[in-house]
C-alpha cells in the first residue's frame, strides 16, 4: 500500500521526518472488528534508512522481544507521546513519556475485557496512571531484558480503564521476517 505518511524521529524540538514508502498490514487483520480481535500489526517501510550514528537525531534501534521475554507477573514500560494529539503538532508535550505497567495473565485479562477466544498473540498490562495513557493504538511497550531494551508489544486497545491489550511482537516473527526479507536490520 503506498502512502503519504511520514515518521517523526528524535527529540521534540529538533525532529527528523522520514517519509513512509509503504505500509504492510498483516493479512489476517480485520478492520471491521475491534482492534483487540487479533493480528493488529503493520510494518512501515521508510523511504530512506535511519542513520543511527547521526548525533543530530539521537535515536537507537530496539531489539524485538522473544516469547519468553514477557514476564507474568512482571513489568513493561509503555512509551510514546502519551496524551499527545497525533493529528496536530500544537500540543504542549515536549518529551517522550513512560508509564510502568504490570503484566497480567490473559486469563485475568479476559475476565475484564473482551479478548478473542484465541488470545495467544496478545498480552495485557495495567497501570493506575490512566491519565498518562494515549487514547488510541500504536504506542510501543518495551522492557529491559538482560541489559538491553526489547520491544515486546504494540498497544491495540484502551478499554477505558487501567487495562491495556497489546499485540505480542514475538507471535509475528515469521511474518515480520518474511515481509522484510529483502532488508537487513
Q: What is the pLDDT of residue 86?
A: 44
Query: Is residue 184, in this structure, part of any structural domain at all?
Result: no
Count of domains forming the chain: 2
Contact in structure between 52 and 59 (CB atoms under 8 Å): yes
Model pTM score: 0.78
Contact in structure between 76 and 124 (CB atoms under 8 Å): no
Between CA 122 and CA 77 the distance in angstroms is: 16
Q: In the structure, how many helices (H) and strands (E) does the chain have?
A: 2, 10
Q: Are residues 44 and 123 in the same domain?
A: no
Q: Are residues 106 and 47 in the same domain?
A: no
Q: What is the pLDDT of residue 90?
A: 46
Q: What is the pLDDT of residue 100?
A: 87
C-alpha cell at 94: 515536549
* Rounded average pLDDT per 10-residue block, the chain, 185 residues: 76 82 88 68 90 81 84 83 47 64 90 82 80 56 86 74 83 90 55
- CATH number of the domain to which 166 belongs: 2.40.10.10
Residue 35 phi, psi (nearest 5): -55, -25
Amino acid at each position: 500500500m503506498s502512502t503519504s505518511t511520514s515518521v517523526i524521529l528524535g527529540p521534540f524540538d529538533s525532529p527528523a521526518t522520514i517519509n513512509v514508502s509503504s505500509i504492510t498490514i498483516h493479512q489476517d487483520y480485520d478492520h471491521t472488528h475491534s482492534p483487540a480481535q487479533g493480528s493488529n500489526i503493520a510494518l512501515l517501510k521508510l523511504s530512506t534508512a535511519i542513520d543511527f550514528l547521526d548525533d543530530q537525531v539521537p535515536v537507537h534501534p530496539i531489539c524485538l522481544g522473544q516469547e519468553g521475554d514477557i514476564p507474568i507477573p512482571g513489568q513493561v514500560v509503555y512509551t510514546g507521546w502519551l496524551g499527545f494529539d497525533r493529528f496536530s503538532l500544537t500540543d504542549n508535550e515536549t518529551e517522550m513519556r513512560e508509564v510502568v505497567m504490570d503484566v497480567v495473565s490473559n486469563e485475568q485479562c479476559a475476565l475484564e475485557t473482551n479478548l478473542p477466544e484465541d488470545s495467544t498473540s496478545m498480552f495485557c498490562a495495567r497501570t493506575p496512571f490512566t491519565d498518562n495513557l494515549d487514547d488510541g493504538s500504536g504506542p510501543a511497550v518495551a522492557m529491559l531484558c538482560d541489559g538491553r531494551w526489547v520491544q515486546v508489544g504494540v498497544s491495540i486497545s484502551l478499554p477505558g480503564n487501567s487495562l491495556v491489550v497489546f499485540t505480542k511482537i514475538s507471535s509475528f516473527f515469521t511474518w515480520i521476517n518474511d515481509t522484510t526479507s529483502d532488508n537487513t536490520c
